[in-house]
Amino acid sequence: MSPLVVAAVVVGIVALALAFVPIVNYGAWLLAVAGVVLGAVALIRRRRPRTLALAGTVISGLAFVLSIVLALVYTAGLLSSVGGGGVAPAPAPTDQAPDATAVESVPATFGQTVTYDDGMQIAVSEPLPFTPSADAAGLEGDLALSFTVTIYNGTEADYELFPFTLVTADGQPGSVVVDEANSMPGVPPVATIAAGQTVTSIEGYSFPAAADASAAVVYQVAPGPEYLPSRFTQ
């Protein structure tokens, strides 16, 4: 595998993770630009299948957009709090999920569905161990878990997905696994979800410091920056 391809994927994943860290995301776009450049060079030079090179470029591009968008969101939130602005209302969970009033994330358990007050819904399955293929990228440890994420657009308008995810095992952040053989492209399956449409994807993560599948896993995800993240636990 070309070192450029590996570098593009790793840089893109790191930039994507840093995009969600306040303050740090003000500079994460620089790393994302580097990932895009590495991916573009790999695409130009490689004559074999370019799936991973393309994935690295896409992940870096997504990281670039998210780092800028989330930096603006965090800045607006900070200015709002300093100026005495109100806090955005928490989404209304379904009868399956616990009350999310006055919290920074919506608490839920794996397998439950969280419904936001505009009708958007999201659910995450129980984590399942899987065996990465020989071509998998992003592996950092012995524990690899897959999650099935389902998003239903119950709003009245099409929605451009900007999902951001943070997954941990025993408090250690996971690394996104790109593994086409296990149906894990590392990016959302669609860019826009139509009103009334349901999108399901399989996501893989590896954990460098988690020894086995008994680790306490937390999956935090939101459809976009305007939604509070839903925090799924076991």
Residue-wise pLDDT for 102-135, tens only, equals 348 899 999 999 999 999 999 999 999 999 999 9
The answer to the question of residue 26 being in a domain is yes
Whether 17 and 110 map to the same domain: the answer is no
The answer, yes or no, to whether residue 157 has pLDDT greater than 80, is yes
Query: What is the number of structural domains in the chain?
Result: 2
The answer, yes or no, to whether residue 184 has pLDDT greater than 80, is yes
The residue whose two tokens read 């408090």 is: 171
Among 47, 82, 117, the domain boundary falls at 82
Could you tell me if residue 102 is left (phi over 0), alpha (psi between -120 and 50 degrees) or otherwise beta? Answer: left
Whether 226 and 111 map to the same domain: the answer is yes
Whether 40 and 128 map to the same domain: the answer is no
- Domain of residue 178 covers 106-233
> Which of 2 and 156 is assigned the larger pLDDT?
156
The answer to the question of residue 87 being in a domain is no
The answer to the question of residue 99 being in a domain is no
Whether 202 and 164 map to the same domain: the answer is yes
The pTM score is 0.55
> Which of 67 and 106 is assigned the larger pLDDT?
106
The answer to the question of residue 88 being in a domain is no
Query: Cα separation of 38 and 5, whole Å?
Result: 7
